[in-house]
């Protein structure tokens, strides 16, 4: 999306033909990167535009299209919004605020992690029988982000989907477009055309980037193509380009993607009973990590490039099924969102609930756990940390030295949380306040441990499963 020559905001397909400096792709990455402004060329000159304003505009465009097709956009229970699984609570709340400003009556309970939605789409398409749990790795590579999630899927008619781990990177289709554009520029230089020296270099680069996007699409179906060029601009009408050349340009990006796959599988191991230490995880080679994956589900437009499937087949055992979530794969998230109400969902990696510690009749409180915070940071595994958990203490929270308080659990998913500690319900559990002694931990397995001024208590988020009631 971006600004047209008349100053209007242009969104969707109509924005594709705008010059590169008048438009932005993958606007959602501004949330991933915590960017407030984007720089765009407008009719009044170069301006820093609030990213949230652009997101509101594109959501309003989507709302208008939905209304035109007869959809009711006022029913909160019927609306689902996808977001990257790696987003924390602050990032999700930012999109929630943007969506509400655009006119959508939503809360965080309407959000579904995009790789989870892709996994749901795959289950719906294949009518999966998961009476025996299936371990599914979703590889969701779209235009702006790569999301990798490790899921456990259970059930036959109503399904439960547990997110054991989710990692991501702001590197996907746009990054390949950049790399292909650079390679095409090199091919042109070999043919005698120097873009940098050209008087119309801006236009030439914009057109070449359009050609790069066409290349990755065309080479999905053909082994060799002639890239159509403007002879008026470049002096030549075509450049031959092969799938092998595309694979060579794409290889380093997929190498990095495999690193994220390994990170996700290592993090998923921590959610299993009797989880190994970080030191052991680091020593576990990737060929061992992939052994218990039943299905790799490919999602996002980039996953249609044959090289992605080739690399997944090389990485995973022969018994692991490599399947597209849907056909075409870029529809997977939308299909999954439309079917999400059939599925119970829980993130064991970024639980969707807040834990508050309140005192003075609720007048004072501290956030003990902020929803969607990862229980284990990637760096903890990389450093070989022996005790992998989320932990916060009284000094971190600046607690009073004495007094009593109570824990309060607030669901952000619209589902009731069953959790216990010290033989009692976690919600409402009394705490002896102590700045020096208080410590609260949650482990990826769902185990809870708390120390306060009165002692140490162990507990559990029960089987990491929720009921349908709202807390």
pLDDT above 70 covers a percentage of the chain that reads: 95
Does any domain span residue 100? yes
pLDDT of residue 427: 97
Q: Are 156 and 68 in a shared domain?
A: no
**What pLDDT band is residue 382 in, cutting at 50, 70 and 90?**
low
Q: Are 214 and 91 in a shared domain?
A: no
pLDDT at 467 over 70: no
Q: Are 155 and 269 in a shared domain?
A: yes
Question: 184-226, pLDDT tens digit by residue?
Answer: 999 999 988 988 888 788 888 888 998 999 999 999 999 999 9
Does any domain span residue 9? yes
Whether the link from the prior residue into 231 is cis, omega within 30° of 0, is: no
Q: Is 409 exposed, middle or buried, given 0-12, 13-18 or 19+ CB atoms closer than 10 A?
A: buried
Does any domain span residue 360? yes
pLDDT of residue 415: 79
Q: Are 121 and 203 in a shared domain?
A: no
Distance CA 340, CA 327 (A): 18
Q: Are 96 and 131 in a shared domain?
A: no
Q: Are 43 and 149 in a shared domain?
A: no
Distance CA 83, CA 89 (A): 11
Question: 21-51, pLDDT tens digit by residue?
Answer: 778 878 888 999 999 999 887 777 888 989 9
Q: Are 277 and 334 in a shared domain?
A: yes
Is residue 130 within 8 Å of 156, Cβ to Cβ? yes
Does any domain span residue 263? yes
DSSP state at residue 15: G
Domain containing 65 — which CATH number? 3.30.420
Domain containing 162 — which CATH number? 3.30.420.40
Distance of CA 123 to the CA centre of its chain: 19
For residue 315, the tally of other CB atoms under 10 A from its CB is: 20
Q: Are 460 and 373 in a shared domain?
A: yes
pLDDT (average), residues 286-293: 95
Q: Are 362 and 342 in a shared domain?
A: no
Does any domain span residue 67? yes
* Number of residues in the chain: 471
Tokens of 32: 């991933």
Q: Are 437 and 369 in a shared domain?
A: yes
For 357-380, give the DSSP string: EEETTTTEEEEEE-TT--SS-HHH
Domain count, the chain: 4
Does any domain span residue 471? no
pLDDT of residue 198: 82
Structural domain of 398? 353-464
End position of a domain, from candidates 247, 278, 301: 247
End position of a domain, from candidates 65, 90, 106: 106
Q: Are 379 and 262 in a shared domain?
A: no
Is residue 347 within 8 Å of 376, Cβ to Cβ? no
Q: Are 239 and 292 in a shared domain?
A: no
Is residue 136 within 8 Å of 119, Cβ to Cβ? yes
Distance CA 33, CA 145 (A): 11
Q: Is 130 exposed, middle or buried, given 0-12, 13-18 or 19+ CB atoms closer than 10 A?
A: middle
Does any domain span residue 469? no
End position of a domain, from candidates 77, 106, 135: 106
Distance CA 464, CA 348 (A): 7
Does any domain span residue 184? yes
The verdict on pTM exceeding 0.75 is yes
């Amino acid at each position: 999306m971006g600004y047209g020559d008349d100053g209007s905001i242009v969104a969707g397909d109509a924005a594709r033909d705008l010059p590169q400096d008048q438009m932005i792709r993958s606007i959602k990455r501004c949330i991933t990167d915590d960017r407030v402004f984007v720089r765009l060329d407008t009719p009044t000159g170069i301006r820093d535009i609030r990213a949230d304003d652009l997101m509101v505009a594109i959501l309003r465009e989507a709302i208008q299209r939905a209304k035109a097709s007869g959809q009711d956009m006022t029913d909160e229970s019927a609306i689902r919004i996808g977001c990257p699984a790696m987003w924390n609570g602050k990032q999700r709340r930012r999109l929630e605020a943007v969506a509400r400003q655009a006119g959508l009556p939503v809360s965080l309970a309407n959000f579904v992690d995009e790789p989870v939605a892709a996994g749901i789409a795959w289950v719906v398409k294949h009518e999966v029988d998961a009476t025996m749990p299936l371990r599914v790795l979703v590889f969701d590579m779209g235009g702006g982000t790569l999301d990798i999630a490790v899921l456990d899927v259970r059930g036959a008619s109503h399904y439960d989907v547990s997110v054991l781990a989710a990692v991501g990177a702001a590197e996907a289709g746009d990054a390949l477009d950049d790399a292909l554009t650079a390679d095409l520029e090199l091919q042109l230089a070999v043919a005698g055309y120097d873009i940098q020296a050209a008087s119309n270099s801006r236009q030439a680069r914009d057109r070449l980037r359009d050609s790069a996007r066409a290349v990755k699409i065309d080479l999905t179906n053909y082994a060799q193509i002639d890239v159509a060029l403007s002879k008026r601009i470049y002096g030549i009408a075509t450049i031959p380009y092969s799938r092998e050349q595309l694979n060579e340009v794409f290889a380093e990006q997929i190498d990095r993607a495999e690193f994220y796959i390994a990170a996700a599988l290592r993090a998923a191991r921590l959610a299993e009973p009797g989880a190994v230490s970080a030191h052991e995880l680091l020593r576990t080679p990737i060929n061992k990590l992939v052994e218990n994956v039943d299905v790799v589900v490919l999602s996002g437009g980039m996953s249609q490039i044959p090289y992605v499937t080739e690399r997944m087949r090389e990485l995973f055992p022969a018994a692991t099924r490599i399947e597209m979530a849907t056909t075409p794969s870029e529809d997977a998230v939308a299909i999954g969102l439309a079917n999400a109400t059939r599925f119970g969902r829980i993130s064991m990696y970024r639980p969707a609930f807040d834990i508050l510690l309140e005192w003075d009749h609720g007048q004072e409180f501290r956030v003990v756990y902020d929803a969607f915070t990862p229980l284990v940071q990637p760096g903890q595994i990389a450093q070989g940390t022996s005790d992998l958990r989320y932990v916060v203490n009284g000094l971190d929270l600046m607690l009073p030295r004495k007094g009593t308080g109570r824990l309060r659990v607030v669901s952000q998913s619209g589902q009731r949380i069953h959790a216990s500690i010290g033989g009692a319900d976690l919600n409402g559990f009394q705490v002896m306040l102590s700045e020096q002694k208080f410590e609260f931990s949650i482990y990826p397995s769902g185990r809870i441990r708390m120390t306060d001024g009165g002692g140490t208590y162990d507990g559990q988020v029960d089987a990491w499963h929720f009921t349908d009631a709202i807390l």
